[in-house]
Amino acid sequence: MRPLCVIGSLNMDMVISVPRFHAPGESIIGSHFAVFTGGKGGNQAVALGRLGVETIMAGMIGKDANGRAYQKALMAEKVDVSRLLQSDEATGVAFIEVNQKTGDNRIALAPGANMAFSPQAFLTIWESIRHCGFFLMQFEIPDETVLAAAERIHESGSILILDPAPARPFSDELLRLAHYLTPNETELNLLTGMPTVSEEEIMKAAQTLIGRGAHHIIVKLGARGAMLVTEDMSRYVPGFMVSAVDTTAAGDAFNAGLAFALAHGEELIQAVRYANAVGALTTTAMGAQAAMPTQAGVRALLQRQHA
C-alpha cells in the first residue's frame, strides 16, 4: 500500500477543564491544565500512525521548543517527519477550554508557523510526497497552499480528503478537486447558507454542494454519526456509544479513520462506519491525540456495537 500524507497544521494545545463556558468579561476557575500536541493536521497524522499505516506529515513548525517537542512526539508515533519545514515564526498554539460536564470544547488559535506554510514552501516538498495514495488536508494553513496542493494532488491522480475546518467559504474549484469533503453541521451551514439542524436539512444542504460539483459529502454529526451524500444516494450512518470526556480532535480522528478504511479498500459506507468508531474512541480521554485508538481498539468497538 502507498503511504498516506497529511498536509496541514501543527499546534501545541494548552488545555484547561472548566465547569462551564464563561460569559464575556467573566473569569472562572478551572481545573487540570495540560499541554498536548494538537492541530488538525498533526492530529490526523497521529491518528493514522496509531492505526498502523505509513504516514507522512507535511507542514510547518517553528524553530522553538514547541516545534522540537512536536517533532519528537510525531516520531514516537512512527509518523515520517522528514517533510516538516521550519519557520522563524513560533510553532502554532491553541488555547482550549473543555467543559467538564459535556466534553465540548472552545478553541482559540494562534497559527504562527502554520501560516508561513506558503505554496512556494509546499512546492519544495511536493515531488517527495506525490507518490502517496491518499492526502488529507484541513483549513489551518493558508488558503493558497490548500488550493495549490489540491491542484497537484488532482493532477497526480491521488485521492484528496478535505476537512473544511475551521469553517470558511471557499471556491467551487476547490470543492471539485476534493474527492471527499467532510464538514460538520456548522461548517455545512456556512458553506451553503442553509439550515442544517434536522437530518433532512443536512441532506438537502449537502446535495447543493453535490450540485456545485462536489463528489462525496460526509457530514460529521458528532455522537450521532455521519451523513453520507453522493450524486446517487444519501445515507445516515449511526455513531457509537462511548463515555466522552473531551471531544477535541474527534473530527480529525474521523478523517483519519475514513482515509485508513478507504485506503484498505473498504466500501464507502463501511469506511464511514469505521471513521465513526475512530472518532468516538478519541473522545474517551483528555487531549487531542491521547485517546487516538489502535486498529485493535477500533475492531473491538465495531464488534461490540454492531450496526
77 scored as a contact of ligand RIB (CB under 6 A): no
Run of H or E residues at 98: strand 92-99
Which window, 39-47, 68-76, 129-137, 195-203, contacts ligand RIB (CB under 6 A)? 39-47
Q: Which CB sits closer to ligand RIB, 119 or 287? A: 287
Per CB under 6 A, the list member of 43, 182, 196, 283 interacting with ligand RIB is 43
140 scored as a contact of ligand RIB (CB under 6 A): yes
3-state secondary structure of 116: helix
59 scored as a contact of ligand RIB (CB under 6 A): no
Write down the least CB distance from residue 130 to ligand RIB, Å: 26
Tell me the HSE value of 95 on the side-chain side, using a 13 A CA sphere: 3
Write down the least CB distance from residue 288 to ligand RIB, Å: 4
Q: Which CB sits closer to ligand RIB, 17 or 234? A: 17
Question: Residue 204 and residue 125: Cα distance in Å, rounded?
Answer: 39
Which window, 35-43, 120-128, 143-151, 234-242, contacts ligand RIB (CB under 6 A)? 35-43
Rg (CA), the chain: 18
Kindly identify the residues of this chain, within the stretch 200-239, that bind ligand RIB according to CB under 6 A.
none
Q: 56: which strand partners?
A: 5, 80
Per CB under 6 A, the list member of 8, 38, 225, 257 interacting with ligand RIB is 38
Per CB under 6 A, the list member of 150, 288, 291, 301 interacting with ligand RIB is 288
Write down the least CB distance from residue 107 to ligand RIB, Å: 5
Nearest CA-CA partner of 6 in 64, 83, 116: 83
Do β-strands 55-62 and 79-80 pair in parallel, antiparallel, or remain unpaired?
Answer: parallel
Per CB under 6 A, the list member of 5, 6, 7, 11 interacting with ligand RIB is 11
Question: Residue 51 and residue 262: Cα distance in Å, rounded?
Answer: 13
Per CB under 6 A, the list member of 83, 252, 278, 282 interacting with ligand RIB is 252
Q: Find the helix packing angle between 119-126 and 143-156, rounded to 10°.
A: 30
- Output DSSP code: residue 215: S
247 scored as a contact of ligand RIB (CB under 6 A): no
Write down the least CB distance from residue 235 to ligand RIB, Å: 25
- Helices (H), ranges, the chain: 40-51, 65-76, 119-126, 143-156, 172-177, 185-192, 199-211, 250-263, 268-282, 295-304
**Residue 232 falls in the annotated catalytic set:** no
Tell me the HSE value of 70 on the side-chain side, using a 13 A CA sphere: 32
Residues with catalytic annotation?
252
Binding interface with ligand RIB (CB under 6 A): 9, 11, 13, 38-40, 43, 94, 107, 109, 140, 248-249, 251-252, 288
